[in-house]
Amino acid sequence: MTFQGKTHPMARRRQIYEGKAKILYEGPEPGTLIQYFKDDATAFNAQKKGTINGKGVLNNRISEHVFTLLAGIGIPTHFIRRLNMREQLIRQVEIVPIEVVVRNVVAGSLAKKLGIEEGTPLPRTIIEYYYKDDALGDPLVTDEHILCFGWASQEELHDMADMAIRVNDFLSGLFAGIGIRLVDFKLEFGRIWDNDYSRIILADEISPDGCRLWDMTTGEKLDKDRFRRDLGGEVEAYQEVARRLGLFPEGEDSAVLDLESHRKRRGK
């Protein structure tokens, strides 16, 4: 085979950005991008690195499903359509450099910071903001910092908080219906410009990478904490979330996701 013959189709596309779990490529039309989901997993600001086989395929599908449902209740999102197993077409946005974390139950950094036992239900939902800066380790910030340093305007902050609560209400119900407790999750938002005006839409992804999802009866973790805490069974956990959401019921997708048979076919 010639070198040209070996060229991967993706090589023809211009890469715009590579993150820890995704790559963004130039889209087919102006104002669009292609979001590629990798199997790479990181934790603790990339101090821990690994791969979760098939994660990209699962997150692409789970995020497509969730964003489609959110669009259905009127949440504007960057998602246009899924293109293939690992890629989706999205609207190009200017990412707001803030991670919006919504918490219903004490877990993770909140448990550690305040010395409260993980699993303690919160009497009201908490929204936290983290400034997206890897060199600083994404520090927790308040709305005062966000406004003072101009990372978002008052109106944008209001829109983000408002959408975060709507997403939380909807997703808490969606997951409760399939026996999963939505403990906490992270959202990212972006601006889209229309001449001199901009508005905020939901961006990034919603998947077990950025959510804590606990089985309601057993308490089993069905999210990236399996990787963060070396619990094992990451793929099975992500697959279980997809399965309960009614994704990959049958057909070729499920065959590809049946990693056990995939490995056997390849003799690994």
For 98-178, list the strands marked E by DSSP: 98-105, 121-131, 140-141
Q: How far is the CB of 118 from ligand TMP (least distance, A)?
A: 10
Closest CB to ligand TMP among residues 156, 188: 188
CA distances from 126 to 86, 141, 161 (A): 32, 14, 10
In the complex with ligand TMP, the residue whose CB is nearer, 110 or 237, is 110
* Cβ contacts of 177 within 8 Å, gap of 6 or more: none
- CB-wise, 211 or 257, nearer to ligand TMP? 211
CB of 254 to ligand TMP, least distance (A): 27
Alpha-carbon distance 193 to 144, whole Å? 25
CB of 44 to ligand TMP, least distance (A): 8
Shortest distance, CB of residue 266 to ligand TMP, whole angstroms? Answer: 32
Residue 81's CB: how many other CB atoms inside 10 A? Answer: 9
Between 27 and 187, CB nearer to ligand TMP: 187
The partner residues of 135 in beta bridges, in order of sequence, read: none
- What distance in Å separates the CA atoms of residue 70 and residue 90, rounded to the nearest whole number? 15
Q: Shortest Cβ distance from residue 139 to ligand TMP (Å)?
A: 11
C-beta nearest to ligand TMP: residue:
108
Let me know: does 53 contact 45? Beta carbons within 8 Å: no
- Whether 213 and 242 have beta carbons less than 8 Å apart is answered as no
Q: Which is nearer to ligand TMP, 76 or 108 (CB)?
A: 108
* Dihedral pair phi/psi, residue 98, rounded to 5°: -130, 130
In angstroms, give the least distance from the CB of 71 to ligand TMP: 21
Sites of contact with ligand TMP (CB under 6 A): 101, 107-110, 138, 184-186, 210-212
Nearer to ligand TMP, 56 or 210 (CB): 210
Closest CA to 208 of 38, 62, 108: 62
